Chains A and B, each alone.
Chain A
């Protein structure tokens, strides 16, 4: 082997004075960092992913993890990452796999957008004392209403409304499939969305029976692999989502490693045990916008036009006209997934280099739909890297109706963003199917954690709106007048249609 080994990413240490030799680190580490030999706990640092499970479980705070204990000679161009990717590929001749979202250190537009608040000339509104309305309806809305006068002289509505999803808060949980994540993760999130009056996506992995009690809060997904799709599945969902693309890997299909396909996953997805589930890059019945229109209509026909149908696309350069095309179909919402969207497994080169930020995608889609007079035809759901209530508020001010969160929900279940989701070893019981790991999540507790996150963000959003003198979410939506850009270049400000701070 001429290449030899690369330096370990992390160095794990145990403070032997603190350690009480309880062995919880050994039990908890599914990557096999720790083992007992005689009366000593030995450490193999090279296996560590910094998932921090051992640190969280150590009763004595005896464990330390240091990043990059041995580093390469510094070079601004030939970074450690670049060199190691080359070494890996020299060994394997393969595509490099990765997990979670874009890991490049690019500027985050959300962090350079600032929200407004009232002072003197208009009063802020106190959500503790005044009504604050976050209720959001997702789906087609008429451009205008027609009324008729009844014989008694009353005004009656003539226009018929299309079915809409009613959300108590504009935060939904995005599509992460059973297979990519565990059943207990799904159960935790399903219970949480039911409690908080919102919805979650099933992902493309079908619908496990254990989730049937929550089906009126689930958006079922039809992706290019069509895993788990049958009429029963479609009828159970509150809405149906066609997944064209995903922000973490625009232009390619899903990838579920065979390690994660156990019996339950295989049955739910309707695929053979242990086989890789690779969804094709395009849907094999969609080669143009009119084919998509037909699929939407077929799904609507199959479910008697009772359910909204969403279309999810990755935020790519041409996202605005694509969304405008979708708005002209019978689709009820377009989901835009930005380039920071997470995933269980994606080729690293896609995760880190393909697609555009969600902030500019929301802005250009909202603008295009308005230019073409079709904004009411379709709701905009934004996703991909939404980390806080501030990101949520900014997304809505840019023009989104609601957001999907993914990684944030997983972090509320314990995820520490170590990025090894594709290995089926997740020590937090999230991105794994191994029963002893999955059982580390108690769905009742998990549901409380996820619901707490949604509640916390909802409270913060109410406060931010009240401070801006707004008591209804409609008045925040597309209200870019209440945003200012800080240290953003003029081109970006123009796309965002946001003034610079101070103007």
Chain B
């Protein structure tokens, strides 16, 4: 629904995977594809997607804008115009795809490598990231037939409607190598065949895969819209990306604290904490009450400096963690982790609301 009246949003269940190599040593997409397919009973063939970090080292200083175009005529002309007005496109191309019997190509995936010009920032917008965010909101809200679904640096999202293998083969996901991977197998309960509704959801370098339904969506949406974000993708997950951008980037909260804001401890626990800590958590709940996410969910967020996994406050959706040396795996199911890395050690299930953080070793 978001800002427009009379359009309802999609709800869904799903299987998710998050992977990080803390030394930035890369793996290609083939094992992620295989692991995600292990959870096919959590999907329905209506959507799958991958996010990979570290895939565009030659354009590492440019924002990689992945766009779904309905056609390359008017929508693309308008996007080109906006981008040229606000900065420099150093390279653009259609994202290479291979036709798959299971995928009906309803959009043309395109990528731009873009840098906002400094003139734009001299106005009221403070940074490159603000300019890019504003462009994403403007395109997604106002340009019919164009959706920017990925806008980070040296990373990209690849998603479509279909089973995980088909989506992976469509994009040739094994040709990309990354040190962070997120993957998602979708079971939407409302099936518009809308590729933008598949996960991961992304804004700048925040990417989100999510299994669940956010019962507080209306509250969270009103909150982020108060800060200029526009919910346009007809699904509750996009609000998570905006919450992380708002709290993590604009308000400068550390990732652990962002998780504490969206999945805070109960008042009972806060009351029992030592005074300093109790005061801090009380302040968090008072200040960020509208960011609290309710309902069942398990989420993995990819960021500039690692990944964060967490569940809702009473853990109504599964989340399993595995570690092996510098590699951290987070998934809905242990089978997916073991499929990715048969040697995995220390497999455990985190507590409700606990933040599982994997950071690069610099």
B8 contacts A155, CB within 8 Å?
no
Say whether A118 faces chain B, with CB atoms less than 8 Å apart: yes
Chain B nearest CB, measured from A363 CB (Å): 11
A121-B13, A477-B219 are known contacts. Are A161 and B289 too (CB-CB below 8 A)?
no
List chain B residues, Cβ under 8 A from A371. 226
CB <8 Å contact, B6 and A499 = yes
What is the bound-complex CA distance between A480 and B9, given in angstroms? 13
> Are A474 and B267 within 8 A (Cβ)?
no
Interface of A is mostly: loop
A75 within 8 A of B: no
B346 at the interface (CB under 8 A from A): no
Residue A256 at the B interface, CB < 8 A?
Answer: no
Which candidate, B64-72, B119-127, B292-300, is the interface stretch facing chain A?
B292-300
Q: Is B217 an interface residue (CB 8 A)?
A: yes
Complex interface residues of chain B between 251 and 280 (CB less than 8 A to chain A): 251, 253-254, 257, 266-268, 276, 279-280
B294 proximity list for chain A (CB < 8 A): 469-472, 475
Q: Which of A81-89, A133-141, A270-278 has 4 or more CB atoms under 8 Å from chain B?
A: A133-141
- Contact between chains at B268 and A131 (CB < 8 Å): yes
CB atoms of A475 and B8 under 8 A apart: no
Please name the residue on chain A nearest to B288 by beta carbon.
Answer: A145
CB of A322 to closest CB in B, whole Å: 19
Closest to B247 in A: A144
| Residue pair A479, B216 in contact (C-beta under 8 Å) | yes
Contact (Cβ within 8 A) B218 A480:
yes
Q: Is the CB of A479 within 8 A of B218?
A: yes
Contact of A479 with B8 at beta-carbon distance under 8 Å, contacts A141-B286, A370-B225, A469-B296 already known: no
- Report if A375 contacts B (CB, 8 A): yes
Decide if B222 is an interface residue (CB 8 Å cutoff). yes
Interface size of A by CB at 8 A reads: 49
Q: How many Å from the CB of B195 to the closest CB on chain A?
A: 21
| Other-chain residue from A122, A472, A493 in contact with B296 (beta carbon distance below 8 A) | A122
Which residue of chain B is the closest to A159 with respect to CB atoms? B283
B161 within 8 A of A: no
Are A481 and B221 neighbours in the complex by a CB distance under 8 Å?
A: yes
Determine whether A482 belongs to the interface, using a CB cutoff of 8 Å to chain B: yes
Whether a CB of chain A sits under 8 angstroms from the CB of B290 is yes
Question: Which residues in A have their C-beta under 8 angstroms from that of B268?
Answer: 131
B5 contacts A493, CB within 8 Å?
yes
* B292 lies within 8 A of A472 (CB): yes
With A155-B254, A474-B292, A499-B6: A144-B287 Cβ-Cβ less than 8 Å = yes
For residue B21, CB closer than 8 A to chain A, the reply is no
Contacting pair A157 B219 (CB below 8 A): no
Contacting pair A157 B11 (CB below 8 A): no
A34 to chain B, nearest CB (A): 54
Cα–Cα, bound, A273→B345 (Å): 84
What is the bound-complex CA distance between A481 and B236, given in angstroms?
A: 11
Q: Given the complex, which residues of B lie within 8 Å of A141, measured CB to CB?
A: 286-287, 289
The residue of chain B having its C-beta at the shortest distance from the C-beta of A168 within the complex is: B267
Instruction: Kindly state whether residue A376 has any CB partner on chain B within 8 Å.
Output: yes
In the complex the two chains form, is B1's CB within 8 Å of A499's CB?
yes
Q: Which residues of A contact B292 (CB under 8 A)?
A: 472, 474-475
A424 in the interface (beta carbon within 8 A): no
Q: Is A373 an interface residue (CB 8 A)?
A: yes
- Which residues B63-107 have CB closer than 8 A to chain A? none
Q: In the complex, what distance in Å separates the CA atom of A439 from the CA atom of B310? A: 59
Q: Which one of B189, B254, B280, B286 has the greatest number of beta carbons of chain A within 10 Å?
A: B286
B257 touches A155 (CB 8 A): yes
Judge whether A500 is part of the interface by a CB distance below 8 angstroms. yes
**Residue pair B251, A481 in contact (C-beta under 8 Å):** no
Contacts of A481 in B (CB 8 A): 1, 217-218, 221
- A313 to B120 CA separation, bound complex (whole angstroms): 43
User: In whole Å, how far is B228's beta carbon from the nearest beta carbon of chain A?
Assistant: 9
Check: B323 CB closer than 8 A to any chain A CB.
no
Chain B contacts of A479 at CB under 8 A?
Answer: 216-219, 222
Shortest distance from the beta carbon of A154 to any chain B beta carbon, whole Å: 8
In the assembled complex, A232 has its CB within 8 A of some CB on chain B: no
Q: In the complex, what distance in Å separates the CA atom of A474 from the CA atom of B12?
A: 23
Q: With the chains together, A478 CA to B223 CA distance in Å? A: 9
B8-A503 in contact (CB<8A): yes
**What 1/0 flags go to A453-487 for Cβ under 8 Å of B?**
00000000000000011111011111111100000
**Contact present for B287 and A131 (CB under 8 Å):** no
Cβ-based interface call for A164 (8 A): yes
* Closest residue on chain A to residue B2 by CB atoms: A481
Can you give 9 A-B contacts (C-beta < 8 A)?
Answer: A121-B213, A145-B287, A147-B257, A159-B287, A370-B222, A375-B226, A397-B218, A472-B294, A475-B292
B residues adjacent to A (C-beta < 8 A): 1, 5-8, 11-13, 189, 212-213, 215-219, 221-223, 225-227, 251, 253-254, 257, 266-268, 276, 279-280, 282-290, 292-296, 313-314, 316
